[in-house]
């Protein structure tokens, strides 16, 4: 932005054209109120940044922006474009109903460059995931008949409001592809994926990225699955040493200490969910088409009503069986840690 007399001019980068075609345009020529508001917000944010522990206000030359301010605004615009492209990519890759949004009003951090979005477990070479059940129910009403949970020796996990009713540590057995019940069966919850619109956002407390819900979530409701690359526990030990050096962790130990889910390079929205000792999400083991007890799916359910705008968290130490995994959390973090 620059001024000539009483007229403000803005340097315009034309979409789809090279920088050599940029032009200075007076304010009255610009019919883009959203971009102008973003420009003003970015300028204000930069000028009100804290320096050396004290809030400062830089003196602005009314005839032209200082180079540092202009550079920040350009970087912020580039970041905004990159985050929008990442958001579009995430929504193309997801297979669930809920939308994914991305937001960073804290710093200039852009999308992670080393995360590939997946919707289900990715087995590492040498690991076989048998995703085909050997039997299924023939119920006409899974609420009242001997359904898959009863065959496994456990109770049906859900009530008629699709809320979980079993205590933590109890496995969930949902109806599978061999069951004769239809897609509207009340025992098909986790397999339908995330139903809520969620936002990956940059936290202001130094915990990197986090996840918040954009809608109200009822207590005891399924929120998301934790997915990643399934590796052996031996391989997890090697990965863990690398993550320990960075002070972070992506490893979630499954039961029997034979397999681990590593969400470092492959994961979904849950990759960005932060740790808390007072979480609003609880871990449950789920079995659907793969009934191998060594390889449960990991589902996260709300422990209470979660209001729109609240950050989602779970306890990294909690396993789906209700036990505690000493390897599933970075011990340099006392109460709050983060996966990203």
Q: Are strands 229-232 and 122-123 parallel, antiparallel or unpaired?
A: parallel
Distance CA 208, CA 301 (A): 23
Distance CA 326, CA 99 (A): 34
DSSP 263-302: -SSEE-GGGGPEE-SS-SEEEEEEESS---TTS-EEEEEE
| Structure token pair of residue 306 | 């979660």
CA 188 from centroid of its chain's CA atoms: 22
Largest CA distance in the chain: 83
316 is catalytic: yes
- Output the 3-class SS for 182-230: CCCCCCCCHHHCCCCCEEEEECCCCCCEEEEECCCECCCEEEEEECCEE
- Residue 224 neighbours by CB distance under 10 Å: 25
Helix (H, G, I), strand (E, B) or coil at 78: helix
338 is catalytic: no
Catalytic residue among 196, 226, 250, 266: 226
Q: Is 309 left (phi over 0), alpha (psi -120 to 50) or beta?
A: left
What residues are designated binding site? Answer: 137, 139, 142, 147-148, 175, 179, 181, 185, 277, 335
Catalytic residue among 173, 250, 316, 338: 316
Cβ contact 235:166 at 8 Å: no
What residues are designated binding site for Zn(2+)? Answer: 137, 139, 142, 147-148, 175, 179, 181, 185, 277, 335
User: Catalytic residue numbers?
Assistant: 226, 316
């Amino acid at each position: 932005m620059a001024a000539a007399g009483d007229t403000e001019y803005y340097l315009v980068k034309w979409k789809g054209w090279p920088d050599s075609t940029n032009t200075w345009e007076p304010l009255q020529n610009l019919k883009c109120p959203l971009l102008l508001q973003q420009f003003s917000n970015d300028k204000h944010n930069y000028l009100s940044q804290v320096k050396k522990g004290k809030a400062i206000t830089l003196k602005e030359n009314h005839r032209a922006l200082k180079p540092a301010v202009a550079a920040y605004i350009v970087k912020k615009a580039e970041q905004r474009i990159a985050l929008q492209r990442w958001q579009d990519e995430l929504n193309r890759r997801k297979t669930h109903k809920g939308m994914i949004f991305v937001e960073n009003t804290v710093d200039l951090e852009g999308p992670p460059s080393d995360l590939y979005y997946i919707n289900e477990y990715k087995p590492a070479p040498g690991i076989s995931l048998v995703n085909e059940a050997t039997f299924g129910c023939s119920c006409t009403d899974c609420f009242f008949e001997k359904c898959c949970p009863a065959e496994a020796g456990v109770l049906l996990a859900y009530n008629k409001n699709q809320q979980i009713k079993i205590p933590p540590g109890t496995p969930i057995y949902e109806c599978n592809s061999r069951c004769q019940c239809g897609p509207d069966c009340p025992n098909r919850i986790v397999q339908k994926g995330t139903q809520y619109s969620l936002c990956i956002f940059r936290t202001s407390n130094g915990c990197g990225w986090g996840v918040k819900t954009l809608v109200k979530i009822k207590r005891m409701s399924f929120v998301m699955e934790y997915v990643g690359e399934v590796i052996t526990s031996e391989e997890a030990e090697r990965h863990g040493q690398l993550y320990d050096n960075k002070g972070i962790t992506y490893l979630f130990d499954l039961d029997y200490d034979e397999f681990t889910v590593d969400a470092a390079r492959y994961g979904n929205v849950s990759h960005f969910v932060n740790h808390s000792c007072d979480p609003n999400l609880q871990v449950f083991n789920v079995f659907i088409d793969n009934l191998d007890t060594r390889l449960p799916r990991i589902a996260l359910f709300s422990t209470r009503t979660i209001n729109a705008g609240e950050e989602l968290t779970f306890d990294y130490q909690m396993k789906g069986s209700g036990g505690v995994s000493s390897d599933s959390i970075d011990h340099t973090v006392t109460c709050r840690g983060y996966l990203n």
